[in-house]
Chain A
Amino acid sequence: MIRETRAAKPLALLLVMVAACLGGCAGSRVKPVSQTRVQAMEHNRRGVEAEARGERDRALAEFSKALKLQSSVENTDGMIVALINSARTQRLKGDLPSARQSVERAASLLAEGSELASELFYEKAKILLAAGEIAAARVWAVRAEAAEKGDARGRRQNLVAALMLRQGLPDQARELLEQALQLNRKAEMAAEEANSLRLLGEIHLVQGGYDRAGACYREALKLDKEFGLGAKIAADLCGLGAVAAKRGDNSGAIGWYRRALEVSSNGGDAGSAAATMALLAQLYRLNGDQVMAEQLEAELGKIAVPGAAKVPQASPLTRP
């Protein structure tokens, strides 16, 4: 009996190993991709990385190469991806006419029920928002949300809510943002979660819920700090400054705005820094510190920033 057990052990081990190997071989093989498409994907990847580093011209060149290669093999989905990426980069660069052209070209290639529709509509909404066409942007943002089949629903809802807020619909926006917050938490999209919180903070601020607004901004700040996103950190700090100012705590507000100014200045965001400086000057004047206000205004005069009226946070609600 003992002998049989001893002989069976190596046999069983051998059988397990054979089964494991066969199981591995039985797995579905990766569908081969043509060399041209692989090259196009490589260019697209390089473009995404270049954009992340802030090298927008290089990113556009890479997307252009990717588009050319995808066109040479008539891979429509690849072309749409390259065009959406081009449009996004052009929008972030401030070249809205080119961004519109790219997104319209992508739209002309889009097939019915394509899984790329949501991303394309979302980008179109962002371009329209950048152009100040809020109503049209909202239409496309809603379409993007409806077409979304993956984890990005919370992101789409954030955009719709931000547009509603711009249109003066805070109640509807809050309802949507609460859904978006849950979806983003579920999808573990912390950056979008922070965006939802910041927008909620804005709504609570405008509706007088200063405690809740402060809590939202603090939570958003904590998440944004984890990702090290300077512009968003400055926006959160400005939000907290606005909460303090609304409460009549001008000194506290000055403290928050000082921190926001520090972040914007050191992050190289001169536009936001100038806008924060202007808010600070107003606060100092309200606080009776005329000297400091004038000093800040003098410094502001020295900074020649084209279109320097950009406040770190998109909404003017954060202003004291």
Chain B
Amino acid sequence: MVKVEDPRFRHLKRKVAVFAALALAVVAVVILLIGKENNLFTKKYELQFTVEKGTGFARGMQVKLSGFRIGRVKSISLNEEARVEIVLLIDQKYQKWIRKDSTAKLVKEGLVGDAIIEVSVGNRSLDALKNKERLAFVKTKALDELADELAEKVKPVLGEVGDIIGYLNDPDGDIKQSMKNFNLLSRNLELTRKRADSLLVHAEGQVGSVSGKLSTVLDGTTATVNRANGSFSTLEQKLPGLLSSAESSLKNMEKISGDLKQAEETLLPKVPALLQKSDDALQGTNSVLHAVQGIWPISSRIQGPQEKQFVPGDSHD
């Protein structure tokens, strides 16, 4: 038996094995790369919270902290109280930021962006939330709720605007009446201008006669001024004498005031001593009087102070 052997099939088994191994290695590398890309190999922990409605939440939804993705929604389920339990899967390395006071809220990324869950950074003094612990959820207002709120606020403003427009349009209102009056005034202004023109023409004629009278008055004034001049010249002659008298009087007064001040300075310190002396003298006199009063027969003549002295109590009063 002739055995024909193709050289391409030589070591075929070895070649297949190498090929298969290479293929498997590539698949493994791809899986590894994809897993790494999707954080499949990073360590994770779970946090959960409960909401009234599951609207807006979805499995796999991104969870962000300070704008960075830190995890995703792992599961959404209805509990026994018909409330929605949301379980988040958070990368372990972000655990240090999520503390007891951290909150989660459902927000939109931009006006028309995807909904995400935003977790706030917690207080460093508090403990970090551990696996399976509960996170506080803060309800944010939905767009329709915001719109309703805005509408409620705008409603009275719109009502007032309507009232103002109505007031402005009222034909018997102040604005319309003022406008009418203004129109009438502007029409009358033309007539007034014409009258003012004629008045000015008339006044021009009067100015001549008035200037004539004014010159007469001025003549009289000149005479008065002349008389005043005479008086002033008399006063001018007498004034120096008067001023010198006043000056000498002031000097005298100044001198008197100085003398008084000097006298006051000299006498004032003596006053208390004088008063003391007077007091002593009075006391001495009093003592002498008492002594004299005590001498017989004077003492028998002097009536001592009466303790039982009454206001006369007349029986007729």
A residues contacting B by CB (< 8 A) are 21, 24-25, 27, 29-30, 33, 37-38, 41-42, 44-45, 47-48, 51-52, 59, 75, 77-78, 81, 84-85, 88-89, 92, 116, 119, 122-123, 126, 155-156, 158-159, 162, 191-192, 195, 198, 231-232, 235, 314
Contacts and interface: CB of A to CB of B under 8 A. Distances in A.
A38 B307 CA distance: 8
Contact of B315 (A29, A77, A162, A235): A162
Chain A at the B interface: mostly helix, strand, loop or mixed? helix
Determine chain B's interface SS by DSSP, over half rule. Answer: loop
Contacts of B317: 92, 126
Interface of B: 294, 296-297, 299-300, 304-317
A78 B316 contact: no
A81 B307 contact: yes
Given A38-B305, A126-B317, A232-B316, A51 B297 contact: no
Nearest to B300: A27
Contacts of B309: 41, 44-45, 48, 81
A25 B308 contact: no
Given A116-B308, A119-B310, A123-B313, 12 more contacts: A41-B306, A44-B309, A48-B310, A52-B311, A81-B307, A81-B309, A85-B310, A85-B311, A88-B310, A92-B317, A155-B315, A192-B315
* CB-based closest 9 A-B pairs: A24-B296, A158-B315, A41-B305, A88-B311, A159-B315, A195-B316, A51-B311, A85-B311, A195-B315
Nearest to B304: A30
A88 B311 CA distance: 7
A21 B306 CA distance: 28
A123 B314 CA distance: 10
Given A24-B296, A27-B300, A30-B299, A122 B313 contact: yes
Nearest to A22: B296
B311 A37 contact: no
B303 to A, nearest CB: 11
- Kindly name the residue among A24, A51, A192, A235 whose own CB sees the greatest number of chain B CB atoms within 10 A: A24
B203 to A, nearest CB: 70
B310 A33 contact: no
A86 B312 CA distance: 12
Contacts of A24: 296-297
A59 B310 CA distance: 12
Contact of B305 (A42, A92, A162, A192): A42
B316 A314 contact: yes
Contact of B307 (A48, A77, A198): A77
A81 B314 contact: no
Contact of A33 (B297, B300, B305): B305
Given A24-B296, A24-B297, A27-B300, A155 B313 contact: yes
A88 B313 CA distance: 8
